[in-house]
């Protein structure tokens, strides 16, 4: 799905990522690396295959886009450092693009550890006519890209069947990205008529119109 914001062009990818064409920049929110290991350590049964979903998604995205930079919009890691850190460290060393972490409420690993890997760590970033942060921020005059909410919607079919899907949630001056992580849950949103919802099935992105 292609959208134009402030005369810039963005591609909403089925993975939950956003690609900023003019800057060859990938936006990712709420990856929550290490969450599977964290839950399993605490006795919660989570399929181990979910642990590698980030790297599988990035392989697909890397074959689709020319990436010069990634902006992680918070909650890159779910909690304190665990074995997932070493997988991420190995992956980072194989990449050539710039990486910036905009910190979120789950980012409790010290910034210097990310900086030692070559990432830039910031609380927020202003660039061009845009504002990049973790939490929704309607107060700035710039257009906001953020995460945190893990937005999703419930769709109801003609036979009353229901389906919950993650979505990109766009208001007048803000786009909230879906969680990029595979084991993150959804916060169901109730959009107003003037707001735009782009659901992702994991294979395609479609706009869903609210009529009332």
Displacement of CA 97 from its chain's centroid (Å)? 18
Total domains in the fold of the chain:
1
Residue 201 lies in a domain: no
Residue 161 lies in a domain: no
Residue 126 lies in a domain: yes
Q: What is the CATH number of the domain that holds 72?
A: 3.60.21
Residue 202 lies in a domain: no
Using alpha carbons only, give the angle 135, 136, 137 rounded to the nearest 5 degrees. Answer: 105
Residue 114 lies in a domain: yes
Residue 192 lies in a domain: no
- At 84 the pLDDT is 86
- At 50 the pLDDT is 56
Q: Is the pTM of this model over 0.85?
A: yes
Residue 109 lies in a domain: yes
Give the C-alpha separation, 102 to 63, whole Å.
25
> What percent of the chain clears pLDDT 90, i.e. is strictly above it?
71
Range of the domain at 16: 2-149+171-184
Model pLDDT for residues 28-69, shown as the tens digit of each residue: 999 999 865 554 455 454 555 555 789 999 999 999 999 999
Residue 139 lies in a domain: yes
């Amino acid at each position: 799905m292609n959208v134009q914001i402030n005369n810039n062009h963005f591609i909403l990818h089925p993975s939950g990522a956003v690609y900023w064409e003019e800057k060859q920049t990938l936006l990712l929110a709420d990856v929550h690396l290490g969450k599977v290991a964290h839950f399993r350590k605490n006795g919660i049964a989570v399929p181990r295959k979910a642990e590698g979903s980030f790297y599988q998604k990035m392989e697909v995205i890397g074959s689709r886009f020319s990436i010069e930079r990634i902006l992680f919009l918070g909650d890159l890691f779910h909690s304190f450092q665990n074995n997932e850190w070493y997988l991420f460290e190995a992956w980072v060393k194989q990449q050539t693009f710039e990486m910036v972490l905009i910190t979120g409420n789950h980012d409790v690993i010290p910034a210097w550890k990310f900086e030692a890997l070559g990432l830039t760590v910031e609380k927020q970033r202003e660039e061009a006519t845009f504002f990049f942060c973790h939490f929704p921020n309607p107060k700035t005059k710039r257009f906001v890209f953020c995460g945190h909410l893990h937005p999703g919607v419930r769709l109801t079919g003609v036979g009353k069947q229901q389906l919950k899907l993650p979505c990109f949630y766009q208001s007048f001056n803000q786009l909230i990205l879906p969680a990029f992580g595979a084991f993150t849950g959804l916060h169901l949103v109730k959009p107003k008529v003037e707001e735009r919802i782009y659901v992702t099935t994991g294979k395609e992105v479609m706009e869903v119109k609210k009529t009332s």
